[in-house]
Structure 1
Amino acid sequence: MEYRKLGDSDLEISAITFGAWAAGGWMWGSTDRNDAIEAIKASYDVGVTAIDTAPIYGQGTSEEIVGEAIKGISRDKVQLLTKFGMRWDLAEGNLAMHSKNNAGEAIDIYKFAGKDSIIYECEQSLRRLGTDYIDLYQIHWPDTTTAISETFEAVGRLIEQGKVRYAGVCNYSASQMEEAEKTLKLVSNQVPFSMVNRGIEEETVSYCVVNNKSILAYSPLQRGLLTGKITTDYQFQPGDHRANLPHFQPEFIAKTNDLLAKIKPIADEHHATLAQLVLRWTIERAGITVALAGARNADQAVQNAQAIAIHLSQEEIDTINEFVSNF
């Protein structure tokens, strides 16, 4: 495995980081708790030391699963990345969405990052994770109802108390990051990035490179689309949010699979899967520090981690870049 520092901090995490959204089941058509725990353990065994989760993933389920999976591992050998600012148990802030929990019950989810809410959320996350500190604490989505200064003053207090080591953001624009930094130093921004979703390269990547902030790329496999296993007639499980997304409509699936067919010879040359090639390409992309890769079972987790073993030549990277640019 390769390990990379976040910003100018001393926090070093695995270049392939375990993304635990799907492990929580919510919006992914349920989860098997034991499989999820084994997936995290298996990824750790092959060098994936960082796990990214959030309270909203299964309304606490994902964090509980992560906490259970890391029992018995020395705490300084694993990095826990979690988030705050999405409440399903409090009607404050911006209504983000109407949803259903894993039991099929209707819930409303709010983007809210007020001071007292953050302090409360941190305590709940520490309890579920079974730890006394969080390595990277990230606001999940911008909250336009709360001053950014109030949000990061609260995170700063948690850092002073030793409950959080470093602060990060998710889904923040460059200007929002700049505003947050007036109150507290940030080390990272977690944003969506993939071969078929490169919008952050227009502004966010440049800002982060210039200001020495790391980018954690989420959905680098575009929620499974870039594995090559999604066909135009793919049947999603009930409750799987992907069924209605634009990227998973037949026309876009077909276009994506054409791209994958073009890069498959490079994967074959390295005796790798398409998913592994895509993950390796992602962490080679300018400005991208780590790729978050989710897994529903141990086999998937190990395959994701093994992407690190691929060593692409500059010629191969240039070839892939050309295909991606023409997508």
Structure 2
Amino acid sequence: MEYRQLGDSNLKVSAITFGAWAIGGWMWGGAERKDATEAIRASIDRGVTSIDTAPIYGQGTSEEIVGEALVGIPRDKVQLLTKFGMTWEGTNGTFAFSSQDNAGKAIEIYKYAGRDSIIRECEASLRRMRTDYIDLYQIHWPDAATPIEETFEAVLRLKEQGKIREAGVCNYNVDQMKQADAVVKLASNQVPFSMVERNIEKELVPYCIENNKAILAYSPLQRGILTGKIKPDHQFEAGDHRPKTPFYQPDNIARINAFLSLIKPLAESKNATLAQLVIRWTIERPGITVALVGARNAGQAEQNAAAINVKLAPEEIDFINKHLYALQLV
């Protein structure tokens, strides 16, 4: 495994980090708790020391599974990355969307990052993950109803109290990062990035490179479509959110699979899967520090971790990029 520093912070994480959204079950058509626990432990066995989760993932389920999976593992051998600012209890903040929890109960999701709420969220996350500190504490989404200064003054207090090691953001633009960074030094920004979703390269990546902020790329496999295993007639489980996203429309699935067929021989020449090739390409991209990759079972986790062994020469990256830039999605 490779380990990378998060910006100017003292925190070092694995370049391939376990993304724990899917194991929470919520919006992914459910999950098997035993399989999820085994996936986390298999990742750790193969050098993946960092786990990224959030309270909203299964309304606490993902964090609880992370806590269960880490029983018996020395705390200083792993880095716990979690979030705050998306609530499903109460109506403070900015309404995000309506949803259902894992039991099918209707819930409403709000973006809220008020001071007292952050303190409560942190305590709940610590309890669910069975730890006394969080390595990286990140706001999940911008909250238009709360001043950024108020939010990050609360985060600063948590850092001073030793309950978190470093502060980060998710889904922030450059201006929002600057405001937050003026209150507490940010280590990172977690944002969507994949071969087919590269919008952050316009402004955010140059800013983060210039100011030494890490970028944690989530959905580098575009929620599974870049594995090559999703066909236009794919049948998704009930509750799975992916068919509603643009990339999962049949025409785009077909176009993406045509692109993947062009780079598949390169993956095969390295005894790698398409997913492993894509993950390696992602962490080789300028400005990208970490790829967050989910797994629902031990086999998937092992395959993800093995992506670190794929080596790409400059000309091979150019070959991938040539075909990628010709890809036209609708």
TM range (shorter): over 0.9
Partner of 2:207: 207
Give secondary structure in 2 for the equivalent of 1:103. Answer: coil
Structure 1 segments, 4+ long, off by >6 Å, are none
Q: Which AA in structure 1 matches 2:111? A: K
Partner of 1:265: 265
Taking the aligned partners of 1:74 and 1:234, their CA distance within structure 2 comes to: 41
Residue by residue over 1:10-51, the C-alpha shift from the partner in whole angstroms, topping out at 9 and shown as x without a partner, is 111000000000000000000100000000000000000000
Q: Which AA in structure 2 matches 1:126? A: L
Q: CA deviation at 1:90?
A: 1.8
Residue by residue over 1:276-316, the C-alpha shift from the partner in whole angstroms, topping out at 9 and shown as x without a partner, is 00000000000000100000100000000000000111110
Whether 2:327 is the aligned partner of 1:304: answer no
Taking the aligned partners of 2:326 and 2:180, their CA distance within structure 1 comes to: 36
Partner of 2:217: 217
Taking the aligned partners of 1:213 and 1:19, their CA distance within structure 2 comes to: 20
Residue by residue over 1:146-182, the C-alpha shift from the partner in whole angstroms, topping out at 9 and shown as x without a partner, is 0000000000000000000000000000110011111
Whether 2:303 is the aligned partner of 1:287: answer no
Taking the aligned partners of 2:218 and 2:253, their CA distance within structure 1 comes to: 19
Partner of 2:61: 61
Q: CA deviation at 1:243?
A: 1.5
Whether 2:116 is the aligned partner of 1:119: answer no
Give secondary structure in 2 for the equivalent of 1:4. Answer: strand
Question: TM-score, normalising length from structure 1?
Answer: 0.99
Taking the aligned partners of 1:56 and 1:179, their CA distance within structure 2 comes to: 25
Partner of 1:186: 186
Q: CA deviation at 1:79?
A: 0.1
Taking the aligned partners of 1:182 and 1:46, their CA distance within structure 2 comes to: 37
Partner of 1:173: 173
Q: CA deviation at 1:263?
A: 0.7
Aligned length, in residue pairs: 327
Partner of 2:96: 96
Q: CA RMSD in A?
A: 0.5
Q: CA deviation at 1:9?
A: 1.1
Q: Which runs of 5+ in 1 are unaligned?
A: none
Q: CA deviation at 1:274?
A: 0.2
Question: TM-score, normalising length from structure 2?
Answer: 0.99
Q: CA deviation at 1:245?
A: 1.2
Identity of aligned residues (%): 68
Q: CA deviation at 1:219?
A: 0.1
Partner of 1:235: 235
Q: Which AA in structure 2 matches 1:176? A: Q
Q: CA deviation at 1:321?
A: 1.3
Taking the aligned partners of 2:161 and 2:10, their CA distance within structure 1 comes to: 18
The equivalences for 1:131-150 within 5 A come to: 131-150=131-150
Partner of 1:197: 197
Q: Which AA in structure 1 matches 2:187? A: V
Q: CA deviation at 1:117?
A: 0.3
Partner of 2:316: 316
Taking the aligned partners of 1:94 and 1:292, their CA distance within structure 2 comes to: 27
Residue by residue over 1:205-264, the C-alpha shift from the partner in whole angstroms, topping out at 9 and shown as x without a partner, is 011000000000000000000000000000000000012111101000001001101110
Q: CA deviation at 1:322?
A: 1.4
Whether 2:114 is the aligned partner of 1:109: answer no
Partner of 1:250: 250
Give secondary structure in 1 for the equivalent of 2:223. Answer: coil
Q: Which AA in structure 2 matches 1:56? A: I
Q: CA deviation at 1:66?
A: 0.3
